[in-house]
Amino acid sequence: IGAIWMIIHASLMLLVAKLLRAPVFYMAVGSQANVGGAASAPVVASAFHPSLAPVGVLLAVMGYALGTYMAYFAGQILRVVGS
């Protein structure tokens, strides 16, 4: 199940990066922010350039905020489907 989840994650990240014509930096940091959270996203961002660590923090915090609401929305959809 984990491998399937990572394949879906990587496919969606590549698709969105291609549609938005985003640089590889945003794809890598966004992926790490989704998978690893706020603790590891700045590390990946600073690997590209040390001054980009705050961008990693910002992407991770935005991911937390969006993820909280999307998880609630997904739960509500599952509740309706399950009843």
What distance in Å separates the CA atoms of residue 58 and residue 76, rounded to the nearest whole number?
Answer: 27
The pTM for the full model equals 0.63
Range of the domain at 75: 2-82
Distance between terminal CA atoms of the chain?
A: 25
Report the distance separating Cα 52 and Cα 12, nearest Å: 23
Q: What is the pLDDT of residue 11?
A: 92
Please tell me the total count of domains within the chain. Answer: 1
The span from the CA of 20 to the CA of 12, in Å, is: 12
pLDDT of the chain, 83 residues: tens digit per residue: 889 988 998 898 889 889 999 888 888 888 887 777 778 888 888 888 889 888 888 888 888 888 889 999 999 999 999 87
